[in-house]
Amino acid sequence: MGTAALLTFMAMETLTHLDISDTAAIEIPDGHISQAYLDVQRTLDLFVEVGYEAAVDAYWQTRSMNGDGATMSVSNGAIYPKQQILDLLATNPPLLSVPRYYADGRENYLWYSDFYDDATKECFVRYGKFIPVGATITPANYAQELVNVDLPYFKELVKLVCLIKLVEYIEARQPQKAAPAPSPIPVSSSTVEPSEKLSTDIKSPKTLRSYEPKLTPAQYALLVKCLNRFEMFRSNVEVTILRELFGGKKTHLLQVTNQRTLTYIFDKLSENKLIKKGWITVATHNGNFISGPRRSAETSATSNPHYITAQQFSNCRLSNQYKYVEHMDDINEAVEQIIGE
């Protein structure tokens, strides 16, 4: 598959998850985000607010010019803006994760997306020095003020989010389809209580690889304590699960809440020869980790998971070299305890 085709496929996968009806993000304090990146998000929101209204007006004007008026069916109205989104993502790969994190409903979605990791170091630095515009953004000065924002990908980000909101606007006005008749529920000899937690065990036909762990039982216990303390996964992990995962005995689908911090911890383990140096290859081959956080974690983890790729882990590793890792000092202390055990 060529690069353009691959990007288009990834973009199609992203568009599949634009529904925000049940994917509200878990609230996590944003105090660790520097002011410059908060200013970028606020400025982006201001431009999107004005740009989205203009996009809606243009949408209705286009329909009126076609002579169809407001009575025209809107069932196919979202096709063109969706194609624009696909084209935008295909030509600007760092934006690929933004729609998914926007759909999570998080206030600072740009920071929590993979945008800063997937863009260049120069881009990250320039965003970190951003000074917000002083003028109020209005339809009259929108175009000029947007030109004045000298940040790579910023104009594309504004356009992307405006298009996403436009698609939501159009699809919300589509006629509701009649619900299909419920299928008969097959009678089974065994039942599953609704309150039962879905298992993280994933049946996989492929041969699992080992992380070649060299941890003692005491070190496993300390590592699990570290991972749970810093909430690396959507749910707490147990020693048994981690031993099976590292040993390649059984694969578990773990939802990661902070990819950069998890990468930092695993790199520390590999530096001290507690797991193999090429742990990223093993993790992506086994399909152990999916991205998060999401409020509907159990559902997304089993129905349509977003597996963390080797490229994402590698981007996190590169980012960790020049960007502060959350809880870094406490993690270093915990890793030292593991090593010294």
Nearest one of 50, 123, 58 to 84, comparing CA atoms: 58
Q: Please state which of the ranges 204-213, 247-256, 330-339 shows the lowest mean pLDDT.
A: 204-213
Nearest one of 212, 275, 299 to 247, comparing CA atoms: 212
Q: Please state which of the ranges 61-65, 223-227, 331-335 shows the lowest mean pLDDT.
A: 61-65
Q: What is the pLDDT of residue 55?
A: 87
Are 167 and 37 members of one domain? yes
Last residue of a domain, one of 141, 172, 203: 172
Confirm whether 196 is domain-assigned: no
Q: Are strands 254-256 and 289-291 parallel, antiparallel or unpaired?
A: parallel
Are 258 and 119 members of one domain? no
* 18 pLDDT more than 50: no
Q: 286-323: b or e for each residue (b if 16 or more CB lie within 10 Å)?
A: bbbbbbbbbbebeebbeeebbebbeebbebbbebbeee
Are 255 and 154 members of one domain? no
CA distance 243 to 87: 43
Confirm whether 182 is domain-assigned: no
Are 268 and 323 members of one domain? yes
User: pTM for this structure?
Assistant: 0.46
Q: What is the pLDDT of residue 41?
A: 94
Confirm whether 180 is domain-assigned: no
- List the domain range (segments joined by +) for residue 87: 3-21+30-172
Phi-psi region of 18 (alpha: psi -120 to 50; beta: other; left: phi over 0): alpha
Q: What is the pLDDT of residue 310?
A: 84
The mean predicted confidence, pLDDT, of the chain is 77
Are 72 and 163 members of one domain? yes
Domain count, the chain: 2
Q: What is the pLDDT of residue 262?
A: 93
Q: What is the pLDDT of residue 182?
A: 55
DSSP reduced 3-state for 213: coil
Last residue of a domain, one of 152, 172, 192: 172
Contacts of 306 (CB under 8 A, 6+ apart): 100, 290, 291, 300
pLDDT in tens, 101-120: 888 887 889 998 889 988 88
Question: Cα separations (Å) of 214 from 210, 243, 277?
Answer: 11, 11, 12
Q: What is the pLDDT of residue 83?
A: 85
Q: Please state which of the ranges 54-63, 192-201, 312-321 shows the lowest mean pLDDT.
A: 192-201
* 341 pLDDT more than 80: no
CA distance 59 to 194: 44
Contact 337, 313 (CB under 8 A): no
Which helix H or strand E contains 256, and what residues bound it?
strand 254-256
Q: Which has the higher per-residue pLDDT, 32 or 285?
A: 285
* 25 pLDDT more than 60: no
* 16 pLDDT more than 50: no
DSSP reduced 3-state for 165: helix
Residue 339 pLDDT level (bands cut at 50, 70, 90) = confident
Confirm whether 193 is domain-assigned: no
Q: What is the mean pLDDT of residues 135-144?
A: 89
Are 73 and 222 members of one domain? no
Q: What is the pLDDT of residue 304?
A: 66
* Beta-ladder partners of 307: 290
Q: What is the mean pLDDT of residues 195-212?
A: 57
Count Cα neighbours of 84 within 13 Å in the Cβ-side half-sphere: 18
Cα first-last separation, the chain: 48
| DSSP annotation string for 57-100 | HHHHHHHHHTT-GGGS--TTTTHHHHHHHHHHHHH-GGGTTHHH
* 297 pLDDT more than 50: no
* 47 pLDDT more than 90: yes
In percent, how much of the chain has pLDDT > 90? 35
Q: Which has the higher per-residue pLDDT, 31 or 244?
A: 244
Q: What is the mean pLDDT of residues 174-198?
A: 48
